[in-house]
Structure 1
Amino acid sequence: MNFEKTTLRIEDTLLAILSERKKNGTFRFLRIQKEGMVDFISNDYLGLAKVSEISESLHSFVDNGASGSRLLSGNKVYHESLEKYLADYFKAESTLLFNSGYLANLGLLSSVPQKGDTILFDELSHMCIKEGVRLSRANYFNFKHNSLENLEQKLTKATGNIFVVVESVYSMDGDQAPLKQIVELCEKYSANLIVDEAHTTGLFGDSGFGLCCDLGLEDRIFARTYTFGKAIGAHGAAVAGSEILKDYLINYSRHFIYTTALNYHSVQLIENAINYRKAHPELVEKLTRNILLFRQLIRRDIPKLESFHPIQGIMVNGNEEAIKLADHLNAAGFDMRPIVSPTVPVNQERIRICLHAFNSTMEISNLCDAINEYYTQ
């Protein structure tokens, strides 16, 4: 009886919190894409998640699951084979697989920086970076988005081993970090740079190896995280760096040690998808044309992100306006969501638009027509 009363009190508290979220228009819920809706929301930039050819070779049975963490029964030949393949692909001494990009950043940032060290991270970093930083024992501070001046101010005051954490392309704004200048600052102050390549993996460079390699900076960066659930169209992630870093993560990264390893299908799918991407550079060319077309067709007076990445955005003021515009576009047959505060800062709410290689010229033209029409009402 006491258990039931306690449960009811807890659920009443949770219900009150949820009711407040519903009241201010920020309540989240799961939905399945309606049939016939045009995809302008997924991170499947190149459409690889929908290419059957990538998984057709996975007909032979190896296992349904790895059966344990890699330090117990879960370490398989296929894990080590993929890590060697990825090390070559990302031009690194070694790589270590994680089950997702979120876990990779948590595992890296929570274990490597020590007490007395300092972590400096861009204020617009993804939540997995912020949570990884908080789980560490180091001192941590953010710096103004892409501000080299503010970063250097913080670097002059940092103590212990210094870590600077940035994303090569930011997930909400679609803008690039000034990586060359950040690398130079890190070298000036003997700081260790960590770069999250989630939104450049598969897109940047001739073979899709990300922005760091495309700029030739890979040997000057302490660690890079790569995610395979976006442009690669699969699942999982990897941390690229030195052999020493890999050994350290195997010994001290809780998010690696205590997680059941990826199964054969997931591992092989990553390699197949990368090979498919390498063989089809025309996908990136088509995506680039679609980005340029979108930016040409949207009226100049409409507030939008200054992005030349597949991540585009129409900026609005307030959650209510973001929801209203999203409803207008959904009703026109376009699948997308409003991005509201607190996910983004107040008065920086938006409609986040993801363009893809598989979006047709007509689909993009119709989308732009619908947006332009909304702003003439």
Structure 2
Amino acid sequence: MLDKHLNKELEKRQYESSLRSLKPQSDMIDFCSNDYLGFSKKQRDVKAATGSTGSRLISGHHDIHEEAESEIALFHNADASLIFNSGYDANLSFFSTVPKKGDTVVYDQLCHASIRDGLKLGNARSFSFKHNDIDILKLKLKQAQGLVYVVVESVYSMDGDLARLAEIDEVCTEHGALLVVDEAHATGVFGLKGEGLCGEKEIEPYARVYTFGKALGCHGAVICGTKTLKDYLINFARPFIYTTSLPPHSVEVIRQAYADLENCAERIKLRENIDFFKMNFESSQLIESNSPIQCVVVGGNARCREMATNLQDEGLDVRAILSPTVTEGSERIRICLHSFNSQEEIAQLCGQLKKLI
């Protein structure tokens, strides 16, 4: 009986050309992964335990966790940091725990699902503001009550554009609001040494989330903020308390990835590839972006899937981003550029895109 109901929902997705499925790795040219610097391909010599044996509050807390958290806090110019198993867990922990009943969270409408899901689990009032619209943000803040949080991503995962961080930070200061920035797609890419867009702009929000599964090529995430915030999350964040911790092996890989960011030639090559792509592909359908994420709006799930399939048939691994992941009518081809993509590969991609649009 239940499967019949579930199948009905799946058939609806199939009809709308929005059914998701898992696909094996391929030998196509990678233009879809978040491995911006190619760090996931590095062979690392790690001699550490592969199991953590429990949660951080029982048997899963090891010296290497504290060492890594101290190093990461220093790297990002923060008082303290706390490691989580994923960026999803980090956002779920913060937004379900820190904002309280009577508080208000105002978030950019394009913020990641993990932020929205965390807010759903919490008790604070929350509403969105139009993407990167400072005037609308100011209007929303006038309606806010209690302690007020403003939440943005420094680089938006489905558009690739950047938050207007300096202006948003100024608005937060004017209204006494706490700024929270998800730096998932900026970590390792922006900043003098890959510390993110906040570091590049010399902005110090109340809290920042950095993830390790993108440019750092490993797994996990960290929340950077005050020592008080760290202690509070340890005591009250359920996704942190009630889960097995990352093992020492994973944490050592994270430490090595951060060490690799120092004097990182891959970041320079990535920037060259972004510039090369933008120079060789100009279109009104291309969303303006200075990040590795470049998106071509196609419109319509079926048409977007067809274009992605055509590109894949040419050996170019790009993916269609469909509604409801993005709003209906803004379905797109999402292109991720990397330091390891050759200019010949990028030129091939640009040529095929020109043929298809």
Fold conserved between structures, TM > 0.5:
yes
For 1:99, which of 82, 85, 97 is the aligned residue? 85
After TM superposition, give the deviation of residue 302 of structure 1 in Å: 5.2
Structure 1 residues 125-153: Cα deviation after superposition (integer angstroms, max 9, x where no partner):
01001111111101111001001111110
CA contact (8 A) 2:35 2:214 kept: yes
Q: Residue 21 of structure 1 aligns to which amino acid in structure 2?
A: R
For 2:272, which of 274, 285, 289 is the aligned residue? 289
The 5-angstrom pairing of residues 1-377 of structure 1 reads 9-35=1-27, 37-52=28-43, 55-56=44-45, 58=46, 60=47, 62-218=48-204, 221-280=205-264, 282-298=265-281, 300-301=282-283, 303-375=285-357
Residue 67 of structure 1 aligns to a residue whose secondary structure is: coil
After TM superposition, give the deviation of residue 370 of structure 1 in Å: 1.0
CA contact (8 A) 2:50 2:250 kept: no
After TM superposition, give the deviation of residue 64 of structure 1 in Å: 2.2
The TM-score, its normalising length taken from structure 1, stands at: 0.93
After TM superposition, give the deviation of residue 92 of structure 1 in Å: 0.3
CA contact (8 A) 1:116 1:139 kept: yes
Q: Distance in 2 between matches of 1:240 and 1:301?
A: 38
Q: Size of the alignment, in residue pairs? A: 357
Q: Distance in 2 between matches of 1:89 and 1:107?
A: 22
Q: Distance in 1 between matches of 2:199 and 2:277?
A: 28
The TM-score, its normalising length taken from structure 2, stands at: 0.98
Q: Residue 351 of structure 1 aligns to which amino acid in structure 2?
A: I
Which consecutive unaligned segments of at least 5 residues does structure 2 have? Answer: none
Q: Residue 285 of structure 2 aligns to which amino acid in structure 1?
A: P
Which consecutive unaligned segments of at least 5 residues does structure 1 have? Answer: 1-8
Q: Residue 371 of structure 1 aligns to which amino acid in structure 2?
A: L
Structure 1 residues 297-354: Cα deviation after superposition (integer angstroms, max 9, x where no partner):
12x3451111111000111121111011101100000111111111101111100000
Residue 256 of structure 2 aligns to a residue whose secondary structure is: helix
Larger radius of gyration: 1
Q: Residue 289 of structure 1 aligns to which amino acid in structure 2?
A: E
Structure 1 residues 164-195: Cα deviation after superposition (integer angstroms, max 9, x where no partner):
11001100111111111111111111111110
Q: Residue 295 of structure 1 aligns to which amino acid in structure 2?
A: K
Q: Residue 23 of structure 1 aligns to which amino acid in structure 2?
A: Y
CA contact (8 A) 2:277 2:346 kept: yes
Q: Distance in 2 between matches of 1:67 and 1:88?
A: 28
Q: Distance in 1 between matches of 2:245 and 2:280?
A: 46
Residue 92 of structure 2 aligns to a residue whose secondary structure is: helix
Q: Say what the alpha-carbon RMSD is for the aligned residues.
A: 1.0
After TM superposition, give the deviation of residue 34 of structure 1 in Å: 2.1
CA contact (8 A) 1:33 1:335 kept: no
Q: Residue 145 of structure 1 aligns to which amino acid in structure 2?
A: H
**Off by >2 Å, runs of 4+ in structure 1:** none
Residue 276 of structure 2 aligns to a residue whose secondary structure is: helix
Q: Distance in 2 between matches of 1:301 and 1:26?
A: 26
- Mark the CA change 1:368 to 1:130 in structure 2 (over 3 Å): closer, same or farther: same
After TM superposition, give the deviation of residue 296 of structure 1 in Å: 1.6
Q: Distance in 2 between matches of 1:64 and 1:266?
A: 7
Q: Distance in 2 between matches of 1:259 and 1:178?
A: 35
Q: Distance in 1 between matches of 2:263 and 2:174?
A: 39
Counterpart of 1:5?
none
Residue 267 of structure 1 aligns to a residue whose secondary structure is: helix
Q: Distance in 2 between matches of 1:63 and 1:301?
A: 50
Q: Distance in 2 between matches of 1:122 and 1:239?
A: 19
Per mean C-alpha deviation after superposition, the further-off stretch among 224-233 and 209-218 is: 209-218
